[in-house]
Amino acid sequence: MKGDTRKISEDYMDEESQLCELDRSKTYKGLVGLYVDESKITFIDGMQGKLYFRGYPLEDLVNNSNFEEVAYLLIYGELPTKQEYEIFKNELNQERNLPDNIITILKSFPRNTTRIELLRTSISALSLYDPDDYMYTQEANIRKGIRIIAKIPTILAFSHRIQSNQPLVEPSNDLSHAGNYYYMMTGRKPSNEFERAFDKILICHSDHSINSSTFSCRVTVSTLSDIYSGITSAIGTLRGPLHGGANERVIRLMLEEIKKKENVIPWVKKKLEKKEKVMGFGHRVYKTWDPRALILRELSREFWEKEEKGAIDKIPDREHEKHRGNIDNIFEMTEILTDYIIKTKNIYPNVDLYSAGLLHVLGIPTPLFTPLFAASRSAGWVAHAIEQLKDNKLIRPRLRYIGKLDKKYMKIEKR
Ligand code: COA
């Protein structure tokens, strides 16, 4: 199949290198446009709005693959054979359960805690129960990585159900990774169409090159710290609204602030006049449509059309039921918002804009939106930790000091 592959075009590299030409007299605030290493995992073509995992276009993976296969691809670099796939899927399946002590600490956490904080703290604690905790070989790192990817959905589902006083739903061995994750969160086995849509969402979020959380993960493992520490750092970084926390904010503003189609334009005008950011828009790398947003937009359109026709699985405790009658079609409100912001600001939607309405219509509890990002991205974080360690160089940039020097120390009584 070599004849079908291609290298990044020279035009693209020229455009990129102009953007990234290093000038030592300049400070690269936010590291905008800087390459910090080389990678064979993910390529984002921010000019054309394309995303590739290990060279495969995202759209092909979303249409033909599933989360387990994409996680394998990210970690090992190649698509699995049927046998490799079955083994990997089985390994993930076998690792879904949590040690009893982790369930005990999940129950001990204060109520009204965000699920992403619970996840961050639990992943840190989980390392203490990993049989490979002090093994640092690549094989041990992959085993630890598989445990992390397998257990995150269980931690999230359990912590959410504990926080909302619902009985725990034990992992089911007959369901796929996406199907079981959905089942543990909601207590209902998903229909095929729900499972497939949820799986696509997981694939779309599974990696995105050196975004802020992946950078944190790579920085942490570059000190030769362990992979659990890398992923704990990544989750802490993902928590912020400028990164993974945007989807939860998008749905809240739709449900609590905008509510009706006629409110969209006045709401957004006011927001932009005040120079405030609109969550779900803009991206450091994409200067056009984010391809993940396009995929989730079509899925969202499909599910909201079914919702309008009453042709969707009825989910009694869906948050949407509480707002029925008070809230217009969220997909249609999102489209009005998108149209206005592209026309007036030339800023495009990112993945969080359309994932918000889609997760909502699928009945995913809102407090689990941001951590869902972590559940999928764990595949990418593991792949990046392993790649970093294969050819490691301590990541340690510099800060340009702009303070004063040689100040005179004055005794405390005299200050
Ligand atoms: N709403 C309104 N204006 C936005 C915007 C948004 N969501 N995103 C960017 N802009 C504007 C900025 O105000 C800025 O305008 P200015 O040059 O007139 O000051 C310009 O576009 C560049 O934005 P900046 O924040 O400097 O770009 P960045 O590369 O540092 O930021 C994000 C990228 C993602 C942090 C930014 O777009 C953002 O905050 N988006 C909202 C949060 C979000 O959806 N995050 C999820 C990302 S997947």
Catalytic entry in 283, 320, 360, 384: 283
- Distance from C-alpha of 368 to C-alpha of 364, rounded to nearest angstrom: 7
Contact yes or no for 129/95 (Cβ under 8 A): no
Taking the CA of residue 277 as reference, the ligand 1 atom at the shortest distance is 1
pLDDT for position 351: 94
Percentage, residues of the chain above pLDDT 70: 94
Closest atom, ligand 1, to C-alpha of 32: 29
Distance between CA atoms of residues 274 and 285, nearest Å: 25
Active site residue 290: no
For the record, the structure tokens of 348 come out as 């495009």
Residue 336 CA to ligand 1 centre (angstroms): 19
Question: Is residue 71 packed enough to be buried (19+ CB in 10 Å), middle (13-18) or exposed (0-12)?
Answer: buried
> Can you tell me which atom of ligand 1 is nearest the CA of 276?
2
Whole-number Å distance between alpha carbons of 389 and 226: 10
The region of weakest confidence among 96-105, 185-194, 260-269, 313-322 is 313-322
Angle between helices 351-361 and 291-308 (to 10 degrees): 30
Q: Out of 6-20, 129-143, 246-260, which region has the weakest mean confidence (pLDDT)?
A: 6-20
In this structure, what is the dihedral angle of CA atoms 130, 135, 139, 142, given to the nearest 10 degrees? 40
Of the candidates 397, 193, 201, the residue with the CA atom closest to the CA atom of residue 306:
193
**Cα–Cα distance measured from residue 78 to residue 69, given in angstroms and rounded to the nearest whole number:** 10
Pocket test of ligand 1: the residue of 237, 243, 281 to mutate, having most ligand atoms within 8 Å of its CB, is: 281
Per residue in 364-398, pLDDT (tens digit) is 999 999 999 999 999 999 999 999 999 999 999 98
Residue 279 CA to ligand 1 centre (angstroms): 9
Q: Residues 312-334: pLDDT tens digits?
A: 876 766 677 777 778 899 999 99
Question: Ligand 1: distance of its center to the CA of 212 in Å?
Answer: 14
pLDDT at 88 over 60: yes
Name the band, by pLDDT with cuts 50, 70 and 90, for residue 280.
Answer: very high
From 160, 177, 208, 243, active-site residue: 243
Structure confidence at residue 244 (pLDDT): 83
The C-alpha atoms of residue 384 and residue 369 are separated, in whole angstroms, by: 23
Mean pLDDT of 218-231: 98
Q: Are strands 56-57 and 42-45 parallel, antiparallel or unpaired?
A: unpaired
Phi, psi of 100 (to 5 degrees): -55, -35
Q: For the residues of 75-116, what is the DSSP string, one character each?
A: HHSSPPPHHHHHHHHHHHHHT----HHHHHHHHHSPSS--HH
Longest CA–CA span in the chain (Å) reads 77
Could you read off the pLDDT of 5-17 as tens digits, one per residue? 677 666 666 565 5
The predicted pLDDT at position 15 comes to: 60
Of 33, 373, 38, nearest to 205 (Cα)?
A: 373
Q: How far is 203 from 89, CA to CA, in rounded Å?
A: 15
Q: Which residues line ligand 1 (CB under 6 A)?
A: 30, 242, 246, 277-284, 345, 347, 350-352
How far apart are alpha carbons 157 and 152 in whole angstroms? Answer: 9
pLDDT more than 90, % of the chain: 84
Give yes or no for residue 300 having a pLDDT over 80. Answer: yes
The identity of residue 83, as a single letter, is Q
- Look at residue 1 in the predicted model and tell me its pLDDT: 41
Residue bearing the CA closest to ligand 1, atom 12: 277
Known active-site residue 37: no
- Identify the three-state secondary structure at position 281: strand
Of 381, 315, 327, residue with least CA distance to 182: 315
Distance from the alpha carbon of residue 281 to the mean position of ligand 1, in angstroms: 7
What integer pLDDT is reported at residue 252 of this predicted model? 93
List pLDDT tens digits, range 39-82. Answer: 999 999 999 999 999 999 999 999 999 999 999 999 999 999 99
Q: How many CB atoms lie within 10 A of CB 177?
A: 24
Catalytic annotation present for 60: no
Most ligand 1 atoms within 8 A of CB, residue of 238, 347, 369 to mutate: 347
Q: Ligand 1 center to residue 246 CA distance, Å?
A: 12
pTM: 0.92
d(CA 230, CA 385): 7
Q: Please report the atom of ligand 1 found closest to the CA of residue 272.
A: 2
